[in-house]
Amino acid sequence: MARVIEYAEAVKLALQHEMRRDDRVYCIGEDIVLGVPFGCTKGLIDEFGPARVLNAPISEAAIVGSAMGAAMTGLVPVVDMHFADFVTCAMDEVANQIAKSRYMFGGQIDCPLTLRMPYGIGRSGGGHHSNSVEAWFVNIPGLKVCIPSTPADVFGLLKTAIRDPDPVLVFEHRGLYRVTGEVPDDDAVVPLGRAEVKRPGRDVTVIATARMVHESLTAAERLASEGIDVEVLDPRSLVPLDRDALAASVARTHRVVIAEEGPMRGSTGAWLAWVVMEDSFDELDAPIARVAAPNVPIPFSPPLEAFVTPDADDVVAAARQVMKGA
Partner 1 sequence: MNEPTGELLLEMYVRMLRVRLFEERARELFANARIPGFLHTSVGQEAVAVGVATALRRDDYILSTHRGHGHLVAKGGALRGLMAELYGKANGICHGKGGTMHIADVSVGYLGANGVLASGCVLAPGVGLSIRHRKSDQVVVTLFGDGAANRGPFHEGVNMAALWKLPVIFVCENNRWASTTAHALSTAGASARPAGGSIAARAAGYGIPGESVDGNDVLAVWRAVSRARARAAQGPSLIEAHTIRWVGHFEGDGQAYRGKDEVAEGRRTDPIARQAALLAERGLLDAAGADDMRRRMSAEIDDAVSHAEASPLPEPHEALTDLFAEWSWRE
Q: Where along the sequence are the contacts to partner 1 (CB under 8 A)?
A: 24, 26, 51, 56-57, 59-62, 64-75, 77, 92-93, 96-97, 100-110, 141-142, 144, 164-166, 239-241, 243, 275
Is 166 or 186 the residue whose CB approaches partner 1 more closely? Answer: 166
Residue whose CB is less far from partner 1, 100 or 199: 100
Q: Could you tell me where the beta strands, DSSP code E, fall in 84-179?
A: 114-119, 144-146, 168-173
- Partner residues linked to 208 by β-bridges: 259
The residue (of 39 and 271) whose beta carbon lies closer to partner 1 is 271
**3-class DSSP state of 193:** coil
User: In which region does residue 82 sit, left (phi positive, over 0), alpha (psi from -120 to 50) or beta (all else)?
Assistant: left
CB-nearer residue toward partner 1: 105 or 307:
105
Catalytic residue among 17, 82, 128, 129: 129
Q: Which amino acid is at 216?
A: S
Q: Smallest gap, in angstroms, from Cβ of residue 179 to partner 1?
A: 30
Query: Radius of gyration (Cα) for the chain, nearest Å?
Result: 19
Smallest distance from the beta carbon of 111 to partner 1, in angstroms? 9
First to last CA, the chain: 45
Distance CA 170, CA 114 (A): 7
Q: Do 144 and 192 contact (CB within 8 A), yes or no?
A: yes
173 is catalytic: no
Between 55 and 218, CB nearer to partner 1: 55
* Whole-number Å distance between alpha carbons of 180 and 182: 7
Contacts of 156 (CB under 8 A, 6+ apart): 14, 148, 184, 188, 189, 190
Q: Helix H segments across the chain?
A: 7-21, 44-48, 60-71, 91, 101-104, 134-138, 151-163, 211-224, 243-253, 268-280, 302-308, 312-323
In the complex, minimum distance from the CB of residue 323 to partner 1, in angstroms, rounded to a whole number: 29
**Nearest-10 Cα torsion for 8, 11, 16, 21:** 170
Q: How far is the CB of 315 from partner 1 (least distance, A)?
A: 25
User: Taking the CA of residue 319 as centre, how many other CA atoms within 13 Å lie in the half-sphere pointing to its CB?
Assistant: 33
Q: Is 61 or 286 the residue whose CB approaches partner 1 more closely? A: 61
Q: For the CB of residue 242, give the shortest distance to partner 1 in the complex, in Å.
A: 11
**Closer residue to partner 1 (CB): 139 or 321:** 139
> CB of 233: closest distance to partner 1 in angstroms?
17
Instruction: Please compute, for residue 222, the number of CA atoms within 13 A of its CA located in the half-sphere on the CB side.
Output: 16
What minimum distance in Å lies between the beta carbon of 109 and partner 1?
6
Residue count of the chain, please give it.
Answer: 326
Positions marked catalytic: 129
